[in-house]
Amino acid sequence: MNYTYQYLPWRGINPETFAFYHSKTKVDDEGKPISIGFKYPDGWFKVRELSKKAFHTQGDIKPGLFGRNLYDHGSHKCVVITEGEADALAFWQVTRVPAVSVRSASTALADCTADYSWLQSFERVYLALDGDAPGRQATADVARLLDRERTYHVRFTRHKDALAYVEAGEQTELMNLWERSKKYLPETLISSLSEFQAILEREPPKGVPYPFDKLNEATYGIRTGETVLVTAAEGVGKTEFLHAIEHSILTKTDWKIGAIFLEETTRRHLESLASIELQRPCHLPDSGCSHDQIVGAVNKVLGMDDRLFLDTTFGSFSTSDLNDQIRFLVSGCGVRCIMLDHVSMAVSGSERTEDERKALDHFFTTQEMMVKELDYSLIVVSHVNDFGQTRGSRWGSKVADVRIHLDRDLDNGSNIVNISIKDKNRFGGKTGFIGSYIFDPLTRQYKEVANDNPDRKSNPGWPGQITGQDSQGSQDAGQALVS
pLDDT at 461 over 80: no
pLDDT, residue 454, reads 43
The pLDDT of residue 385 is 66
Rounded to whole angstroms, the Cα distance separating 90 from 13 reads 6
Q: Does residue 428 surpass a pLDDT of 70?
A: yes
- Write the single-letter amino acid at 386: D
Among the ranges 6-20, 301-315, 466-480, which has the highest mean pLDDT value? 6-20
* Domains of the chain: residue spans and CATH: 3-187 (3.40.1360.10), 213-481 (3.40.50.300)
Asked if the model's pLDDT at residue 470 lies above 60, the reply is: no
**pLDDT given at position 346:** 64
Arithmetic mean of pLDDT, 294-323: 88
pLDDT digits (tens, 9 = 90+) for 13-24: 999 999 999 999
pLDDT at res. 351: 41
Residue 390 in contact with residue 227, Cβ under 8 Å? no
Phi, psi for residue 366 in degrees, rounded to 5: -65, -45
Q: For residue 316, what pLDDT band results from cuts at 50, 70 and 90? A: low
pLDDT at site 483: 40
- Mean pLDDT value across the chain: 87
What is the mean pLDDT of the segment spanning 393-422? 88
Band of residue 344 on the pLDDT scale cut at 50, 70, 90: confident
In order, the DSSP letters of 244-294 are: HHHHHHHHHS---EEEEETTS-HHHHHHHHHHHHHTS-TTSTTS---HHHH
Residue percentage of the chain with pLDDT more than 70? 88
